[in-house]
Structure 1
Amino acid sequence: MAAQVQLVAAALVTLLLATGEVTASEATVSLKDNGYEGVLVAISPSKTISDASEVLFKATQKRAFFRDVKILLPKSWTKTPYDAVALNENFDESDIRVDAPKGVYGNQPYTEQPGGCGDPGLYMHLTPEYLVNDKEADVWGPRSKTLVHEWAKLRWGVFDEFGYPNDEMYPLFYATQNIVEGNVETIVHPNYCANEVLSGKLRDITGSECSYVDDLPDKNCRFIPDEDQVAVSSLMSLYYIANVEEFCGESKRHNLRAPTKQNNKCDHRSVWAVIETHSDFKGNNNPPTSTSSPTKFTVLRQEAAKFALVLDYSYSMRDYDRIKKLQTTARRWILHEVADGSSVGIIKFGGTANVEAPLTMIEGEESRKMLADIIDTKLRKATSIGAGLSRAMNDMLNGEKNAVILLITDGEENTYPYIRDIQAQLVASGIRVVTIAFGETADQQLESIAQQTDGKTYTVFDSDSGSQLLDAFLGALTYQPGDTLADTRVKIHEYPYAGTEKQLRMEFPVDASVGRDMLFQLRTSAVKHTVSAPYLIRPDGTLVETATFDSLIESWTIKVPLAEAGIWTWIADLSGDENYYIQVDITAKARNPDSLPIITRAWASSGPSGVDATVSPVIVYAEVKQGSNPVVGATVRAYISHTSTPDEAIELDLLDNGQGADSQAGDGTYSRYLTQYPFTGRYIVRAQAWNNGSAFINSGFTVNRAPQRRHARSVPAKPLEMQTYCCGSKVPFNAETAESAGEFSRYVAAGSIQVTKIPETGDVLPPSRVTDLQVGGVYQANLTLTWTATGDDLDYGIVSAYEIRFSSNDSDIVDLDAENTTLLTFEDSKQKPELFINAGETVNVTLYLEDFEVGKLYYLVLRAADDVGKLSSFSNVATVFIPNEPTAEPTAEGLATWMIIAIAIAALVVVIAVIACVAASRSRRKGARVPSENPDW
């Protein structure tokens, strides 16, 4: 029994691998002399990783393997043996995670990929059950191959090369046509990529033969490949087949016609073609080597965070009342936000730096108050940021694990040592640096030092009343151990106000996922501005009149041990003097310590040298989830402000629709391109998420998901109880069975970014690509197409024209041979107003069948143009079969007549329908077939 517990414990840990700029962790993992180093995982290392290393070595043509792997244990696992204490690894920024099953995925391994082709994933997710239960692992294929399959997504930004059940964009089957002896023959293909045709059978999930609709197998049909195959690729396709050990590439006959996610996201480029452009291999980096070396494993245990507050006390901090804002926010952070068990030390710097408080463990109110009292407002001459960083690195955090420097400054250094003088040593130390810059003139090195140490960077407007500074302090708390996540505070309400109102009455929601230790704080710029103590009104109408004034942070505070879910109200009586302001912030923890709250996390794409928006426009992301379950249908808005115009925020509604900047619909990650750039320089990015009445928590499937093998040597006679592989173009969601998210709101800071170059005056951004072109239906005189509207500038605005190309030869479409395609152009918004609508809305268009020949399969693509003629890339390929006798389009009158006739001759209709179905089924089986030889790929 003890051995079994130990095995489970070895699996219930955090796996960390490299990704890229989104999580700033690619610097942690490096490929040196063909061996990946710095890989941190949490699997029992005896076999899985070692086997995966050999699979990776062969798949990359002897150019990469796993040399150095570290296993991270949670801080709370005090009885599990380990080799060393983790330096700076933590759960919240992990790239591969062993965690509880995610509802929509169950025990299926998956990689979170919010970016596009070539963009690294966020993290890989594996479950304990998958790692320790061989039966569960058998469902998804060998663990070693599965790990390499997901590593390719995580590290190199490639995608699956197979279809998904009930996915219109990435179907399980697709069709092509050949002309044989003058007759058109439809050929049905299972959706995969392989260098040879795979042998296998088609079976309905009931175990019987498949049924067909328009020459294609229906949604219940599955392709069951044989285990013995000649094909050796692709690991991004049916990787569980024994012989499959390589990626599809030019030499492995990439199937660029298959409607796979890889073809759609990467413009029909092969997996290996994308991998070769990654910095791991580009320019002949890490050329083939003769052998790989054995994988080295080290077990680490995470420790509580050690925070060194490095505070700027130079005279420039008196401008705009910066030092006063710093004092009150830092005190609040110490008194209320830092978790028990963490350690905090304080360093103040001007021209020199002094340690005011050594690292002190937070153990109750006394230790918190002692540290908070040290933060005063006495300033000093000169500014040496380097001196403050040096004291933190050499005197306070030297040799400490999970060490974080929280640097707060206006960034105007004028005395040696400077940041540049100690930067290299600081980067080498393993200490993370979180920088908070006041104002627009702060040194740009602040972003650089944060990024190079895998830290974060924030900017605070001088006009800020305290909310931005608090958000930045809260952002540093993500470096606490992951097993404290349920005790992490989330901001559920904020409200700044400066005006003449004498009473403010504001409502705020407390949702069912939070409420424990709710903390209401009203900070005021003058004590006399609040003429009486504020109070709360519970959802049932009773009052909470327990406000106390905390002179340390100049705030009114109300603590509620457990706030019931519902709409609360706060009321504050003010002096009415517009020269004063208040700032209200309300935070809470998870309602139950054993569950997780709805959490919003936001970030913006950036790089170590800033953003060149003329090449790669900024993408703003916000993830809204409860644990690992996505919150869908939320309203998510980003606010992007330049430091020179703090009161003129660009409002950007983020979308989770799988279009434009968004990679997958319904995954809980909302995103949008930033297309407006007033100036170069620093931008502050914040986000808010709330329920506008349509938000649900997608906790997954309610049907039986009992493990069954995804492949079998023989075709079963009983129903196929195969797992539903998730997820293609969208995450499955059923509003009827999903849990309402309730009325909630969340506020979060995404940090700041540096934009080094912006587009010149004029329209320079093209529309983004349409990725969900679909055929709505074929009727007597026409067919309908539908897609999500793209924008004039990427995914913003309204396009000026669409052009549609189609052909009965798929080569014409894949190769974009304009001479052999039929072109239809729509560019008059007055004649076709339904086509020219805001980005993100659904477009429907009707095409006349006179442009098509009956009995043929057609392939269609489209692209958009803006008002200056800039064109988007071509969309995904949609297919439609034009039957010899298209059905009549139903109308309201026709439907009513049909109902009357149906009542009179119901019995006859049933008989005719049965005979017709049998005949049609036999006819289709003769006309459609699965190819027995490789198509012309």
Structure 2
Amino acid sequence: MGSFPNVILILALGVLQAVEGSMIQLNDNGYDGIVIAINPNVPEDEKLIQKAKEKVAEASTFLFHATSRRAYFRNVSILIPMTWTSKPGYLTPTLESYEHVRFVSSAHKFSHPFLKGIFLLIHLTPNFVLDDNWLIYGPRGKVFVHEWPCYITSLNTIEATRCSKDNTGVNRVLKCSIKSCAIRLCKINRQTGMYETKCQFIPEKSQNAKVSIMFMQSLDSVTEFCTAKTHNPDAPNLQNKMCDQRSMWEVIMDSEDFRNTSLRAGVNSPPSPTFSLLKAKEHVVCLVLDKSGSMSVNNRLSNLVEAAELYLIQIVEIGSWVGMVTFDSDVITQSNRSISGSEIVLLTDGEDNEISTRFEEVKQSGAVIHTIALGPDAARELEKLSLMTGGYRVTPKENMTDLIDAFSRITSRSGDLSQKAIQLESKSVMLNSKEWINGTVTVDSTVGNDTFFVITWTESVPRICHQDPKGKEYRNADFSINKLNSKAAHLRIPDTAEAGNWIYRLQNEHSLQTLTLTVTTRAKSPTVLPVIATVHVNQSTGHFPSPMIVHVQVSQGFLPVLGAKVTAIIETGHGSQETLALWDNGAGADTVKNDGIHSGYFRSYQENGRYSLKVLVQARNNTARLSMRSPQSCAMYVPGYVNHGEIVLNSPRPEVKDKEMEVKIEDFSRVTSGDSFIIPGVPSGPLPGKFPPAKITDLKAKSQADHILLSICFFPADHYKIRMSGNSMQLRDHFDKATQVNTSGLMPKEANFKETFEFKPETLKIQNGTKVYIAIQAVDNANLTSDISNIARARREYYPSLSSYTINVATIIVAVVGAAAIIHIF
């Protein structure tokens, strides 16, 4: 796996929607809590700070007018790396960290200067911040505002769809090399009636249309978002698919930030943003651990000692300052030193009715609080401490493995992935006497430094047989038994662990007991980014019977890793466990296929209270691939303009050949924990049938002679309803009144099963150019129905006349930076 250049991390407009734990808030039309963070590996350059200020100020003014005076950027913090020189004006950060960054500048090897992000990120190259050559995308502030609605939808919304139709221009196919460009007219696909794939729209330089920012933000006249009047609901793009064909302005106004926000009356321009320069300091963390009488139950205290020690020697960032406080009733503050910017790890198993009375004090402290709620009786208010300070919240079981997993969740927040502890294995098995537990742990070539194998037992030490990929064996004598906790043993691999499959075998030489194995490591090199898995749930508190959505991003740097098997293990406070397969197939809870984000709905609620989340990621048998395709930009690249009848082309965008799109990578494994969540309102006893089938989101349709062929990814259901119409909006708004399709030949399939279904419209005459819109609903055996699917369109063959190929420009000019241009028409 190759190395990656340095990056700069920027949050410019970030997460203007309500994201769980987000520090960004909209108050009185002004956004507070915006963070601009510079990656620790970026060389010191004050121009980055000044340019960032200028562009955010520019974006604030444009956002203010684009939202009809509803929003602007008020308070912005710039997080400066520890490696940069300290200056008098720099302040100490409090809750600001790289964990809260939502806009990320990617490396310059990407072909776009700003890229549609994943997991609430937008990538900006350093060149985009500093180099004016990228102004072909429009003013940077305008580009930032263009990127922002991608957060509302988490989608790429432009997909070559012109909005509005008042934007004028020509359609051409460009074939460019370094020194020349060939231009020809676009051909029309007779099967679809659409232009060929490589056809591009070249707009007139001078326009009157004001919309849309999401189409071509580079046009001077464009200052507004598409509304219901100007939006094209039939465009085959992701926005229409996922947003029920609503315009961008409708989506924005329905977001939590804007739902109850009024315009700022009597003001034509917003106040200038206030910037704070924050220089990261040394990492300071304090463990605040419960040692009350209840911690003696189920070996909680001894397990805590082992897990805390493991955190200190394996998990916490090297070079950190760590303190420890234990308590059995109250924690007494004995120092007047400020804890602002520090982290606190609070573990307790007890109730505390006074936590809520300290919320305001916690906010003012400036400390980040991570909470570990141990056992079913832990205070219900713990999660609020984490949410209000940007900390993690974890609910482990009372065994050693889950406690270690919980501490492993609390990793480095510095932005330096080479310091991040990475978990490769976490296993707990109950064995009878003389039984073995066998397995392999894959150490891939992106990791291997500071590798630890930790084995624990409940009764007596097991027989240990480990073997590295070259055949070297490690047995009991090679492990160090913890003197504080005689039921745990460590093996630290010196230098860098050998890449490949490590074989482990543990034999229980006692009566029935539980054995656990945990393996952690760090990146092999600061210049080679490790494969990591990041977990996210859509909300901290669910609402029965609505499902929770679990997302897991598997990536190396900013590139998606494909082909891995991802499984979520969700457990209640009383030990009831559910295994959930997560998919990256663009269906159901998953928005985009093959973007490295695996998603799934969780609705198997067993009880009220906390649910813990653990994720296993495995790539076996050479199935993993690294997607080399740059994350698709939410902003459209404009190939050129028509200026006074002449086509003036911009510099061509580099293309990646298909064979370079994906690269096979070696096998790997990752284990990670997600934040716990709370589900209230679950009724006691057998659950009623309140969970309708999931919405189908990947319905596709195409016309074949006088038939229509549908492609569907199924979800569990009893049967399906398919209806069609000649009008997409009528089908959306009046589905039950649309023409029904005979689905007697469509049999329910298992979840995530792809199938095609062909039918002949019985009441609709299919002619050349006819467009038919189709949608589907899944119905279960309790007659509960899913939401209406995305609306698919089928179009009968269309045979255009040759007269449709016309050209009305007299001259074609190509402007190529730094090279002579030659052009011909073919």
TM-score w.r.t. structure 2 length? 0.86
Q: Which amino acid aligns with 2:616?
A: Q
Answer whether contact 1:63 1:289 (CA < 8 A) is retained: no
Aligned to 1:806: 725
1:295 aligns with 2:273: yes
1:765 aligns with 2:691: yes
Q: Note the C-alpha offset of 1:670.
A: 0.8
The structure-2 alpha-carbon separation of the partners of 1:29 and 1:881, relative to structure 1 and needing over 3 Å to count, comes to closer
d(CA) in 2 for partners of 1:573, 1:160: 52
Q: Which has the larger radius of gyration?
A: 1
1:85 aligns with 2:92: yes
More helix per residue: 1 or 2? 1
Q: Note the C-alpha offset of 1:424.
A: 1.7
1:853 aligns with 2:766: yes
Helix, strand or coil: the match of 1:257? coil
d(CA) in 2 for partners of 1:519, 1:53: 48
Aligned to 1:212: 188
Answer whether contact 1:257 1:814 (CA < 8 A) is retained: no
Aligned to 1:140: 137
Aligned 1:646-665 pairs, distance under 5 A: 646=575, 648-665=576-593
d(CA) in 2 for partners of 1:268, 1:495: 46
Q: Which amino acid aligns with 1:699?
A: M
5+ residue gaps, structure 1:
1-7, 114-121, 164-171, 173-190, 354-386, 726-731, 792-796, 885-919, 932-937
d(CA) in 2 for partners of 1:33, 1:530: 63
d(CA) in 1 for partners of 2:57, 2:18: 28
Aligned partner of 1:426 among 355, 362, 368: 362
Q: Which amino acid aligns with 1:547?
A: F
Answer whether contact 2:355 2:381 (CA < 8 A) is retained: yes
Aligned 1:445-594 pairs, distance under 5 A: 445-462=381-398, 464=399, 466-479=400-413, 481-483=414-416, 485-500=417-432, 501-526=434-459, 528-530=460-462, 534-544=464-474, 546-554=478-486, 555-560=488-493, 561-578=495-512, 580-594=513-527
d(CA) in 2 for partners of 1:413, 1:127: 48
Q: Note the C-alpha offset of 1:410.
A: 0.3
Helix, strand or coil: the match of 2:246? coil
1:870 aligns with 2:784: yes
Helix, strand or coil: the match of 2:300? helix
d(CA) in 2 for partners of 1:865, 1:720: 48
1:100 aligns with 2:107: yes
The structure-2 alpha-carbon separation of the partners of 1:624 and 1:799, relative to structure 1 and needing over 3 Å to count, comes to farther
The structure-2 alpha-carbon separation of the partners of 1:317 and 1:221, relative to structure 1 and needing over 3 Å to count, comes to same
1:111 aligns with 2:110: no
d(CA) in 2 for partners of 1:327, 1:702: 43
Q: Note the C-alpha offset of 1:159.
A: 4.8
Helix, strand or coil: the match of 1:273? helix
Q: Which amino acid aligns with 2:388?
A: Q
Q: Note the C-alpha offset of 1:811.
A: 5.5
Aligned to 1:233: 211
Answer whether contact 1:813 1:859 (CA < 8 A) is retained: no
Q: Which amino acid aligns with 1:588?
A: T
Aligned to 1:335: 313
d(CA) in 1 for partners of 2:775, 2:80: 50
Helix, strand or coil: the match of 1:451? helix
Question: C-alpha offsets along residues 430-480 of structure 1, whole Å, 9 cap, x if unaligned?
Answer: 211111111112111111222122212111223x2x12111211222243x
Question: C-alpha offsets along residues 488-526 of structure 1, whole Å, 9 cap, x if unaligned?
Answer: 121111222221235443222112221222211112234
Helix, strand or coil: the match of 1:325? helix
d(CA) in 2 for partners of 1:929, 1:636: 52
The structure-2 alpha-carbon separation of the partners of 1:502 and 1:306, relative to structure 1 and needing over 3 Å to count, comes to same
Q: Which amino acid aligns with 1:36?
A: Y
d(CA) in 2 for partners of 1:146, 1:309: 43
Q: Which amino acid aligns with 2:349?
A: D
d(CA) in 1 for partners of 2:648, 2:63: 37
d(CA) in 2 for partners of 1:805, 1:491: 50
Helix, strand or coil: the match of 1:308? strand
Aligned residues: 768
Structure number with the bigger relative contact order (C-alpha 8 A, sep ≥ 6) is: 2
Question: C-alpha offsets along residues 612-670 of structure 1, whole Å, 9 cap, x if unaligned?
Answer: 122x42111111111111111211000111112x1x41111001112211121111111
d(CA) in 1 for partners of 2:504, 2:80: 42
TM-score w.r.t. structure 1 length? 0.76
Aligned to 2:287: 309
Aligned partner of 2:380 among 417, 420, 444: 444
d(CA) in 2 for partners of 1:222, 1:294: 38
1:782 aligns with 2:716: no
Answer whether contact 2:585 2:592 (CA < 8 A) is retained: yes
The structure-2 alpha-carbon separation of the partners of 1:474 and 1:861, relative to structure 1 and needing over 3 Å to count, comes to same
d(CA) in 2 for partners of 1:486, 1:460: 26
Q: Which amino acid aligns with 2:65?
A: K
d(CA) in 2 for partners of 1:311, 1:671: 34
Answer whether contact 2:348 2:372 (CA < 8 A) is retained: yes
5+ residue gaps, structure 2:
38-48, 176-182, 809-826
Q: Note the C-alpha offset of 1:339.
A: 2.0
Answer whether contact 1:406 1:435 (CA < 8 A) is retained: yes
Aligned to 1:823: 740
Deviates more, 1:763-772 or 1:466-475: 763-772
d(CA) in 2 for partners of 1:494, 1:46: 45
Helix, strand or coil: the match of 2:99? coil
Answer whether contact 2:86 2:279 (CA < 8 A) is retained: no
Aligned to 1:36: 31
Q: Note the C-alpha offset of 1:806.
A: 3.3
Q: Note the C-alpha offset of 1:112.
A: 2.6
The structure-2 alpha-carbon separation of the partners of 1:761 and 1:538, relative to structure 1 and needing over 3 Å to count, comes to closer
Aligned partner of 2:343 among 404, 425, 428: 404
Q: Which amino acid aligns with 1:243?
A: S
Aligned to 1:667: 595
The structure-2 alpha-carbon separation of the partners of 1:22 and 1:334, relative to structure 1 and needing over 3 Å to count, comes to farther
Aligned to 1:119: none
The structure-2 alpha-carbon separation of the partners of 1:675 and 1:198, relative to structure 1 and needing over 3 Å to count, comes to same
1:280 aligns with 2:257: yes
The structure-2 alpha-carbon separation of the partners of 1:768 and 1:261, relative to structure 1 and needing over 3 Å to count, comes to same
Question: C-alpha offsets along residues 722-744 of structure 1, whole Å, 9 cap, x if unaligned?
Answer: 4489xxxxxx9967752223221
The RMSD of aligned alpha carbons is 3.1
